[in-house]
Amino acid sequence: MAGPAPSWKGGCVDIEQKWREAQAIQQKLLEKEQERRHKPIPKAVRKQVYEKYDGHCAYCGRPIAYKDMQVDHIKAKYVGGADELDNYNPACRMCNFYKGTMDIDHFRDQLKLVRDRLHKVYIYRLSLAYGLIKEKDNDIEFYFEKCNKGE
């Protein structure tokens, strides 16, 4: 003989409870994502960052237009860096993208590996052989380091 028939009412309550729990989890995830995202940097602060190195990328030193400048966190927010002027550097899109969340020393080390990677590319080796490009030493000094020497 079969036991008592299942209570559908009880089953609906369980489903509703699970749905509420899932919604709460989803809300917490959304809140964490919002916290992780960068807050907009006020225009006055962006201007100060831009002027820090006279409109140049703090890393490669190329001039950048104000509208093209990206504000880099020297110590990434990802690893606890602050949203403060002292933790900001002006960066071109290329440097900011490549640096990502790396600290300065890791970024420098990664740049030093670029030449080794290029040597694997046929057209690069061909360009070297014909003198179309010249390699220089592998010491990397960032623009902001050159500027700060004069202080």
Going along the chain, which residue ranges are E strands? 70-73, 88-91
The full set of domain ranges for the chain reads: 43-149
pTM here is 0.71
CATH, domain range 43-149: 1.10.30.50
The stretch 74-92 carries a mean pLDDT of 93
The 10s digit of each residue's pLDDT in 3-54 is 555 555 555 668 888 888 888 888 877 776 666 666 789 999 999 999 999 9
Average pLDDT, the chain: 88
- Residue 118: band (very low, low, confident or very high) from pLDDT cuts 50, 70, 90: very high
Q: Can you name the residues that pair with 71 across neighbouring β-strands?
A: 90
The stretch 68-77 carries a mean pLDDT of 95
How much is the pLDDT for 92? 98
Q: What is the DSSP string of 74-102?
A: SS-GGGT--SSGGGEEEE-HHHHHHHTT-
Find where tokens 């071109």 sit. Answer: 92
Token pair recorded at residue 39: 């807050």
